[in-house]
Structure 1
């Protein structure tokens, strides 16, 4: 319910011409005090609920306990108090939470253990509901030992129970204990990208979980990943349900090899991109973070990186035109393929064997012609 204003005054005498306009305005303004006869929401200009008005007559001010100590606000289904500020507003107390009120959720107001009342924040426009922008890898066939999935959302999501809203189906059967339930969850700084690990303990051959439960995916089987519409974003809006179908392919036990990449350099004097055709899809986010283009002096070239063709192609576009000469493509060794194999070692390796010395980076040279 929105803020309510009432003109609770009566004019019992005639208005004569000699009444000044100033006097009349003062009379009206003095009568326009805010009046709250029930619990209501406070709204901002963008139609977002910013607080809760609690009429003073509902409160016990003679309890001997300060209002700021006795008055509590929480979700209707929780006893966890919500942090916020209390202030007087006409004949009511205004509670302004530190974290915005969420559409679709019901809040309860309690004083000294006694329920004062409840109020629900209306749902927002469904057109603004969060949605999944992409799930990576985007290819339809994943290696049997695929290690990670990335879920990218249009708006920051509520965190802490992501695993409850994600289901992997094998036909009509729901697969159990497939994903690693990490706490805290692996979100990027925007709160829009979740890294979801398939349980490494079941993937690494020889470990107890692998022997007892087996690999999460089985070559040749068809799967459907379902993200539930019951998942809410940080505003309390429900996600639009999303699903992705894929097939489990062959086990991948090979390290990525940059010498197998095809480099297509542009000509000098242009802003055209350097195109790198990879021989397999690689980790979507690591790919964009692991590549650097250096000039002949070893200085990084400024520009932008982008990926396409389901992470099989990388493009680098410089901010300045290419100059003729020799360049180096430097790749961080932590770059991984879909199975978690990086440039130094395979993920599912025998850790008892002596490993070769790791390199920090790997390099490929190329030339920009006149």
Structure 2
């Protein structure tokens, strides 16, 4: 067998062609952005970008830009850190709006104000040049538009939520209407269902449109017992408010009382 050494330039072309052929198409490069609501509060604390695959270790923030309604970049909107907020599998990037600008009373807020202005529209752009861990680019810019309303100074209030009871012996979801958009990751980790013995009920979580509702599908059918929805004190809305505690509050402020358990009883079929 004879082995021929390719010229360096030709070798590079062959490798590049192989990589290009293996890369997904633009249509397969779906990127999801949370919150999904099209109206967000001026004191929004986080944006999340879900990439279709694990991304490269290069600086992800340089592929992301926040533009105002005139197409100009909003400088200093996101908190600059030495380490970006990637999920362990590197397919989710959390963009933290600079808390110093979000929270009133701090120097950055007083000098620069919030990055998001009520009544204005914004566009989050993820460059198609962003590279995944295999060296494949997204291939096309991803554009996410939203408008900004006034700041949110209401804490999550479980007492005001409504719960739709599922039927006994069914695996119907229990649906909880939260009344407003909450942080989707917080909803996934900070709400749980326990049975009449205070044991966690295993199952799957689904989120409703604009993350305004939380649905839980049990692994086993509902029994004819009283269940409780348990609300962790660290549950957050889009502005970082927690039950009984505002993110934008004086340091000396005491949290207000709130109800951490909501009960529901699965209903029987008629007849």
TM score, norm. by length of structure 1 = 0.66
Is structure 2 residue 210 aligned with structure 1 residue 314? no
Is 1:271 aligned with 2:171? yes
Aligned partner of 2:137 among 222, 234, 238: 238
Match for residue 151 of structure 2?
A: 251
User: Which has the higher relative contact order, 1 or 2, with Cα contacts under 8 A spaced 6 or more apart?
Assistant: 2
Is 2:118 the counterpart of 1:150?
no
1:138 correspondence with 2:33: no
Q: Which residue does 2:183 correspond to in 1?
A: 283
Structure 1 residues 5-44: aligned runs within 5 Å: 32=1, 34-38=2-6
Match of 1:225 among 118, 124, 145: 124
Aligned residues: 262
> Residues 292, 221 of structure 1: CA spacing in aligned structure 2 closer, same or farther, 3 A cutoff?
same
SS in 1 for 2:210: coil
Deviation at 1:363, TM superposition (A): 1.1
Q: Does 1:165 align with 2:48?
A: no
Match of 1:192 among 91, 96, 103: 91
Q: Gaps (5+ residues) in structure 1?
A: 1-31, 42-51, 53-105, 107-117
Structure 1 contact 150–195 (Cα < 8 Å) conserved: yes
Confirm or deny that 1:121 pairs with 2:16: yes
**1:8-59 C-alpha deviation (Å, 9 max, x unpaired):** xxxxxxxxxxxxxxxxxxxxxxxx2x52323679xxxxxxxxxx9xxxxxxx
Q: Which residue matches 1:362?
A: 260
Is the CA contact (8 Å cut-off) linking 1:148 and 1:338 kept in structure 2?
yes
Q: Residue 156 of structure 1: CA displacement? A: 0.9
Q: CA RMSD in A?
A: 2.3
Work out the CA distance in 1 between the residues paired with 2:253 and 2:157.
21
Alignment of 1:74-113 (within 5 A): none
In the alignment, what sits opposite 1:12?
A: none
Alpha-carbon offset, residue 357 of structure 1:
8.3
Select the structure of larger CA radius of gyration: 1
Tell me which stretches of 4 or more aligned residues in structure 1 moved more than 6 Å: none
CA drift of 1:332 comes to: 1.1
Structure 2 unaligned spans of 5+: none
Mark the CA change 1:160 to 1:347 in structure 2 (over 3 Å): closer, same or farther. farther
Deviation at 1:120, TM superposition (A): 5.5
Equivalent residue number for residue 227 of structure 2: 327
| Residues 333 and 245 (structure 1), Cα distance of their counterparts in 2 relative to 1, 3 Å cut | same
Name the residue aligned to 1:300.
200
Give how far 1:354 is off.
4.4
| Contact map agreement 1:160 1:185 (CA 8 A) in 2 | no
Going by fraction, where is strand more abundant, 1 or 2? 1
Q: Corresponding residue for 1:4?
A: none
2:160 is matched with 260
1:71-91 Cα distance to aligned partner (Å, 9 max, x none): xxxxxxxxxxxxxxxxxxxxx
For residues 357 and 281 of structure 1, the distance between their equivalents in structure 2, rounded to whole angstroms, comes to 21
Q: TM-score, normalization: structure 2?
A: 0.89
